[in-house]
Amino acid sequence: MSDSSNIIELNIGGVTYSTLQSTLQSEPGSLLANLVGQQQNHHSNNVSTDIDNKITRDNKNRYFIDRDGVLFRYVLDYLRCKKLVLPESFQEKERLKNEAEYYKLTSMVKELVIHQQLEQTTNTTINSNENKKLAASFISLPDSPVNKQSRSVNGYIVVGYRGTFAFGRDGLADVKFRKISRILVCGRVNLCREVFGDTLNESRDPDHGQTERYTSRFFLKHTFLEQAFDMLGDAGFTMVGCAASGCSSSTEPGKQTDNEENRWLHYNEFAFQRGQ
């Protein structure tokens, strides 16, 4: 049977966490490791020290630390895994580094510094490429050879989406319009990345390492079809074809449901081409 005394309850800025003593002590010399160590010494010696008196408890006798409770989840994950794992769109690395410095997690601070340096290098490269493209657009006319060379290879991209149309009941003026569940993208990998950039979600694509290939597993991180069309138009693509299919979601012809409006499921695809 496990010893419940090994479980530590924390209140970090109003957000509560439960973890093991061994997790908090996984990085010796850190504030959290020292916190647990001091309490163990206090209980074993049964003597109050000046350091013990500085430890704050909340009304449920949990350790209270007046820091960012939301960011602490990444601190605790690091202590558990000894590995820094952040969401793809995480934008608070500097704040998280401040938290790691406060808790005296030296190795975590080093990993965050490396992440920030890599991010700055990537942004510098992207900005440099954008400046080159911008300079070429000022120097050259729209149809000049320089401008044509600055674009990537020509090709096709197919955009498709699954959605529903919902119509109001008889006698009602309100109509629910198109609802899109996901916008799918098919085509050559390097073309799709060029056009859609950060809005392209590649999580369903099994092979991230190759760019000179085709895939039908990309989708967009948003559901705004017009935004996708704008991005394709800005990249020099023209729509050359489309196809659509639809069916009623009603399983019994002529029968109306009591609580649901009539719905039509549909799938549409639009083919875009750049070049000839």
- Out of 64, 85, 114, a domain closes at 114
For 52-103, how does the pLDDT look when each residue is reduced to its tens digit (9 = 90+)?
545 688 999 999 999 999 999 999 999 999 989 888 778 888 999 999 999 9
Residues 6+ apart with CB under 8 A from 166: 175, 176, 177, 179, 261, 262, 263, 264
- Same domain? 181 vs 101: no
Average pLDDT, the chain: 78
Of the CA atoms within 13 Å of residue 116, those in its CB half-sphere come to 13
- Same domain? 268 vs 166: yes
d(CA 15, CA 61): 14
Query: How many domains is the chain built from?
Result: 2
pLDDT score of 139 more than 90: no
Residues 6+ apart with CB under 8 A from 21: 6, 7, 8, 36, 40
CATH number at 106 reads 3.30.710.10
Instruction: Supply the pLDDT for residue 208.
Output: 67
- Same domain? 159 vs 270: yes
Q: What is the rounded average pLDDT of the residues 265-274?
A: 90
| 47 or 222, higher pLDDT | 222
Instruction: Supply the pLDDT for residue 45.
Output: 53
With beta carbons less than 8 A apart as the criterion, state whether 55 and 9 touch. no
Instruction: Supply the pLDDT for residue 247.
Output: 73
Flag whether 140 is in a domain: no
Tracing tokens 């629910």 back to the chain, one arrives at 176
Instruction: Supply the pLDDT for residue 147.
Output: 43
Instruction: Supply the pLDDT for residue 115.
Output: 83
Q: Where are the beta strands (DSSP E) in 189-237?
A: 200-201, 214-220
For 159-201, how does the pLDDT look when each residue is reduced to its tens digit (9 = 90+)?
999 888 766 555 455 555 678 889 999 999 989 999 999 899 8
Residue ranges making up the domain that contains 211: 155-252+259-274
What's the pLDDT band for 133 if we cut at 50, 70, 90?
low
Taking each helix axis as running N to C, give the angle between helix 225-234 and helix 189-196, from 0 to 180 degrees, rounded to the nearest 10: 100
Flag whether 146 is in a domain: no
Instruction: Supply the pLDDT for residue 267.
Output: 86
- Same domain? 188 vs 99: no
| 38 or 91, higher pLDDT | 91
- Same domain? 82 vs 160: no
pTM of the model: 0.44
Flag whether 122 is in a domain: no
Instruction: Supply the pLDDT for residue 148.
Output: 44
Q: Which of 164, 180, 126 is nearest to 248 (CA)?
A: 164
Instruction: Provide the token pair at 237.
Output: 């693509």
Flag whether 131 is in a domain: no
Flag whether 143 is in a domain: no
